[in-house]
Amino acid sequence: MPEDMERIISEELLPVTDINIRALAEIYDEKDVYLSVYLPVSGRENEHLNRIFTDSRVSAIRKSLSPELRSEFESTFEMAGSYISEPPISGEKGRIIFACSSNSFLNVYRLAVEPERSLVIDTSPYLLPLAKLRADYEDYGVLLVDSQEAKFTCIRSDLAEEKKRLSTDLMNKHKKGGWSQMRFNHLRKGAIKSFLSEVAENVQGTCDQLQTRGLVLAGPGEAKQQLMEMLPQDVQQKVLGVIDVPIDIPRDELVEAGDAVLHESEHSGSRHAAEELKSAILKGGLAVNGVEDVRDALEQARANTLLILEDSSVPGWLCERCQNLQANAKPPKECDRCGGPTSAVDVVEELYELAQRSGAKVVFVEKEDFLDSDDVVGALLRY
């Protein structure tokens, strides 16, 4: 385990994309010693519900563990306990905790978005809920623009940070005896075009600096459409949508409007991936479906994209010594391949971690878009 991963305790709100999920996917142990906790933490109601949920899960886990592992769990839960019950900081809506006392490992992340409640003890950090959050809250930019002002805001897990602001002074009226109206309008249009050209240059530079999912163009009137036509082709391809909003829109409303565009774009992307998988399967192309074939493709690093049906799970077991992964079966006393210790796992979670370790992209797909079968995973292959 990297030393810089052993203890991470965020004191401020953190975008989910800042959590090093690939490094977390590399962590595992031969015993069930890693505690993973996901909680929504804003409001009195969540405080009450979290207490009930945590007590229930802890009681169930204690009953199922051997005396040796129960002792390890107790010390790990004690390490994480104060962070589980600690009141939220300003703006905090969710909290993720990974802990393991025997390895002196404790990660605490404070989020501006809400995860679903989960408390799991496993041989490694439980990452599937985090993966879903990352899929739902990718980083993106919003360019709010009219004919006189432009503001570039980067939105990361509902945290909005203004990155750049440009403005220009345009005379909206001229004095009697001054320029003719036609001359004034011509000059004003020229000034607007010059301003939008400057904005376009700055947008390209800003987009190059920030690794975002894409860009939302927003604002009143026609300026954003004019700007769209002036953007370089590669920047135009990053535009997720164009929306009409007031230039003085409150920040929380801007985030809400931008999120709606992002989620529609993500849904469109997942539908496209599902259609690509269906087509490849039907034509005998570079694709596989079903847990066993997908597992083999990931283990051989042949999978380019892993597709997972949302909210799916598959029971199975894993050997923590040789990583032998088997679906729809109860764990034997020892691995039939190497004789190592085995444990019950969610196979979908293990496939996700394999994807992280092998560098495969992960896409979550809704049921109506997925394969017409009982399979919950598929993969588009590199070769």
pLDDT at 30 over 80: no
What residues contact residue 54 under an 8 Å CB cut-off, 6+ apart?
A: 37, 39, 84, 119
pLDDT at 185 over 60: no
- Cα–Cα separations (whole angstroms), residue 227 to 22, 146, 240, 346, 367: 38, 9, 14, 48, 38
Task: Give the Cα separation of 66 and 69 in Å (integer).
Answer: 5
| pLDDT tier at 176, thresholds 50, 70, 90 | very low
Residue type, 212: T
Tokens linked to 89: 């900081």
Is the model more confident about 136 or about 37?
A: 37
Residue 174 has a pLDDT of 44
Task: Give the Cα separation of 287 and 302 in Å (integer).
Answer: 10
Task: Give the Cα separation of 268 and 365 in Å (integer).
Answer: 10
Share the mean pLDDT of the chain.
Answer: 89
- At CA 315, angle to CA 356 and CA 107, rounded to 5? 45
pTM: 0.84
pLDDT at 175 over 50: no
Task: Give 122's strand partners.
Answer: 34
DSSP 289-339: ESHHHHHHHHHTT-EEEEEEETT---EEEEETTT--EEESSPPPSS-TTT-
Residue 173 has a pLDDT of 45
- pLDDT tens-digit profile of 60-82? 999 988 888 899 999 999 999 99
| pLDDT tier at 183, thresholds 50, 70, 90 | low
Residue 81 has a pLDDT of 93
Domains of the chain in start order, with CATH, are 1-137 (3.30.960.10), 140-249 (3.30.420.60), 269-383 (3.30.1330.30)
| pLDDT tier at 192, thresholds 50, 70, 90 | confident
What residues contact residue 177 under an 8 Å CB cut-off, 6+ apart?
A: none
Residue 169 has a pLDDT of 60
Residue 254 has a pLDDT of 94
Residue 304 has a pLDDT of 97
pLDDT at 355 over 90: yes
- Cα–Cα separations (whole angstroms), residue 257 to 163, 214, 244: 18, 14, 10
pLDDT at 272 over 90: yes
Residue 180 has a pLDDT of 59
